[in-house]
Structure 1
Amino acid sequence: MSTARKLRLGPLPSNSSVKLTFTCPASLKADLDRYSMLHAQTYGEAVDATVLIPHMLEAFMAGDRGFRKGDKAKASTPKPG
């Protein structure tokens, strides 16, 4: 494992999954493939770009303060009785 480069997305955990299909621009697919290659170089394990997408989305959502605030507000709002 190389420590010269640090990527925002670290090694991938093992999780159960649900299949989801989406369409993206060719330029985004190229960026995902490039990121996948850098991830493989950094962590010594080849990973297809499609495997990285859920982890990227999870990291994005975890870092989105607006989403987290909305999540907390929703959880603490009493339901009308």
Structure 2
Amino acid sequence: MTAKLKLSSVPNDKPVKLSVELPPDVHRDLLDYAAVMARETEQAAPEPAKLIAPMLQRFMATDRAFTRARKTLCQPSRPRAPGSEPA
């Protein structure tokens, strides 16, 4: 049975350098994810660090509460219609 991974490839974009500390179990999970990805795609396993950005991107893209909150955060205040001044 083939697993349906949320990531199918790792984009090759110009990165922004960010340093983070991960718990050892998360690092092991990243290594395992890379191994499974390599088996599924029949390509070389990506470096675990290369998986973090697309995983975060996918996580945020599928977080409905974040999407709703972001819309209200980024929404410019609407101008008031003429004659609708507060009392």
Query: 1:19, CA displacement in angstroms?
Result: 1.1
CA distance in 2, matches of 1:57, 1:63: 10
* RMSD after superposition: 1.8
Query: 1:45, CA displacement in angstroms?
Result: 2.7
Q: TM-score w.r.t. structure 1 length?
A: 0.83
Identity of aligned residues (%): 32
CA distance in 1, matches of 2:64, 2:45: 32
Query: 1:65, CA displacement in angstroms?
Result: 0.7
Q: Highest Rg: 1 or 2? A: 2
Q: Give the equivalent residue in structure 1 for 2:55.
A: 56
Q: Which one has a larger percent helix, Structure 1 or Structure 2?
A: 1
Q: 1:38 aligns with which of 27, 36, 39?
A: 36
Aligned-partner residue type, residue 26 of structure 1: P
Structure 2 unmatched runs, 5+: 79-87
Query: 1:30, CA displacement in angstroms?
Result: 0.6
CA distance in 2, matches of 1:13, 1:23: 22
Q: Give the equivalent residue in structure 1 for 2:65.
A: 66
Q: TM-score w.r.t. structure 2 length?
A: 0.78
